[in-house]
Chain A
């Protein structure tokens, strides 16, 4: 194809978008609504995923050290724990520190247990490389010397792992479903606008235009529809997300979990919306006109 011909296709596709008036507006609106839906649902899904994995990664094994264990024995125990493959981090927390945590969570009444009355143990807080290894670490730790007990949240942690796993699986399933719906809605709308131009296509063929020559402006027009249709969803998702991020982050601050920070995340969502718009617009229009080009 000559460069001048390609330029002509680009110019024609833009002109045609303008001259098709309400038809173009209808197609653009459909793309806008669909992409807005995709943008909002994707933002929610990705953040739910983020918080879920934050929670999952937060599960640790608390190895309670026997009372009366001396510093040397403690150091040996730490070494043994570190030797386990799946251990990523070990943090020591003294029984005084543990009491502070209890007081922090349950109230000042527990101050009674200060000093020699402190019934708590010194603790190694062990983090696993992968959350699902937590159970194994706890089992191994229990067998070690000078270990009073190893806790990982037991049944509730297992439940949590299941929930997170489900969220991730369903998240992927819903994303695919959403993409499928987007493809269907956008290409269907574009199909209707092309159906109304069946006559034009037949005239082009009678004048000696090859299928490629007829197809290109339509494909480009579909791509423009997708691109322009992505503008409003991008604006709404970007501003909306920044606004909600401000509100939700404040209330999440105390839990230690966080949402995806707007910068990179929004760039990814915006790129995704533009790509979905352009690709589906172009392909939808290419496929829709195929049957008018059969001779």
Chain B
């Protein structure tokens, strides 16, 4: 469960990227975060994994109260989240297997469990045959699938994806969406920032629209979402 309560974020250059965000995302939901460039989507996403700190307000992710946690606790918060980036952020000098395994090594899983799990998730994204390749030997779409495989390797409750289809052609983007749909179907919460209206129209889910740092729309499939607060 993710909850934003009266969250404000002002950058040193006086830009207000979050102006009183109040959002609740339930376990198992799929939610798009849309809006033009510079609207505050990335700030919203980054605050969830504590890459950015809110200026004021409360953010709760699972059992972590992000305004209170110490720096040393951040890695533990991130282990409960799977994060997928527009630019993939794979480790360039590690093979595909090692990249996915990294997420499991940090939680000190034993080597056998790691091997089994890595093979499973690589199979899930359809890239089991690429285990020994390096990221620069793969296409953008393949790299993004590896990035998703890494995000789900340790079975997180939440997957956060920041424009995961941003750099991909429509067919590849559709492939990525199929994978995210499947992950969501297994009960994982998916929060996805996107520019791509085609995707939002095709795969219908709750939509959160941000403009100039304000949430201007929070709409469930077929109608406006009513905030409980």
Contact = CB atoms under 8 A, between A and B. Distances in A.
A16 B91 CA distance: 11
Interface string A5-49: 100100000001001100000000000000000000000000000
B66 to A, nearest CB: 13
Contacts of B72: 210-211
Given A5-B108, A295-B71, A295-B74, A207 B103 contact: yes
A144 interface: no
A208 B89 contact: no
Contacts, number: 58
A16 B93 contact: yes
B211 to A, nearest CB: 27
A247 interface: no
Contacts of A209: 75, 102, 106
Interface size class of A (residues with CB under 8 A): 20 to 34
B102 A204 contact: yes
Contacts of A295: 71, 74
Interface in B100-155: 102-103, 105-108, 110-111, 150
A208 B78 contact: yes
B75 A200 contact: no
B51 A207 contact: no
A206 to B, nearest CB: 6
A200 B106 contact: no
A210 B75 contact: yes
B146 to A, nearest CB: 13
A206 B110 contact: no
Contacts of B93: 16, 19-20, 200
Contacts of B103: 207-208
A6 to B, nearest CB: 10
A151 interface: no
Interface string A202-234: 011111111101000000000000000000000
Nearest to B89: A203
A208 B106 contact: yes
A5 B106 CA distance: 9
B39 interface: no
Contact of B111 (A4, A19, A20, A200): A4
A4 B106 contact: no
Nearest to A19: B93
Contact of B91 (A4, A203, A210, A211): A203
26 contacts: A1-B108, A2-B108, A2-B110, A4-B108, A4-B110, A4-B111, A8-B111, A200-B92, A203-B89, A203-B91, A204-B102, A204-B106, A205-B75, A205-B78, A206-B78, A207-B150, A208-B75, A208-B78, A208-B79, A208-B106, A209-B102, A209-B106, A210-B72, A210-B75, A213-B75, A295-B71
Given A203-B91, A208-B79, 4 more contacts: A5-B105, A5-B108, A206-B85, A295-B71
The 7 A-B pairs of least Cβ separation, nearest first, read: A208-B78, A208-B79, A209-B106, A295-B71, A19-B93, A210-B75, A203-B89
